[in-house]
Amino acid sequence: MLSKINHIGIAVTSLDAAVPFYRDNLGMAFTGTEEVAEQKVRVAFFQIGETKIELLEPTAEDSPIAKFLEKNGNGIHHIAYEVDDIEAAIAKLVADGARMIDSSPRNGAHGARIAFVHPKSSGGVLTELCQSGH
């Protein structure tokens, strides 16, 4: 069902403050920013091997990222796993008794289709399924 780790999502209060560390200090390849209006976030992506690091900055006070930052501060928000068929992956998880935040895919960054598994079903880790858009 899973083919690789697509990305690790890290919540930050400011992309402008966080990007230089990943780009300049760690030397990761910066691949740009994108606003995902549906998720109320602005994201910055970095490539490291086959995996991406996704920095998430809220664009509204009611953004899930804003709520996460208020409760936890900056830090790892989710791990996203690549799947070939997101509907089949959701169906399997539901059949196996997992609780889903998204019972059907929604739009994510880079034209990806995404769905989140509730942390109560994944040992406290917010888990994202990601079917690439390219």
Question: Domain extents for the chain?
Answer: 2-131
44-48, 50-54, 62-66, 108-112, range with the lowest pLDDT: 108-112
The rounded percent of the chain whose pLDDT value lies above 70 is: 99
What is the CB-side half-sphere exposure of residue 79 using CA atoms within 13 A?
Answer: 9
What is the CB-side half-sphere exposure of residue 24 using CA atoms within 13 A?
Answer: 6
CB 43 within 8 A of CB 114: no
* Beta bridge mates, 53: 8, 46
**Average pLDDT, integer, range 3-25:** 97
CB 116 within 8 A of CB 78: yes
Residue with the larger pLDDT of the pair 1 and 13: 13
The CA distance from 108 to 52, in Å, is 14
User: What pLDDT does 39 receive?
Assistant: 87
pLDDT digits (tens, 9 = 90+) for 85-106: 999 999 999 999 999 999 999 9
CB 87 within 8 A of CB 114: no
**Average pLDDT, integer, range 43-70:** 96
In eight-state DSSP terms, residue 84 is S
Q: DSSP readout, 25-73? A: IS--EEEEEEEEGGGTEEEEEEEETTEEEEEEEESSTTSHHHHHHHHH-
User: What pLDDT does 111 receive?
Assistant: 87
Spell out the CATH class of 2-131.
alpha beta
Q: Which residues contact 118 (CB under 8 A, 6 or more apart)?
A: 98, 99, 100, 101
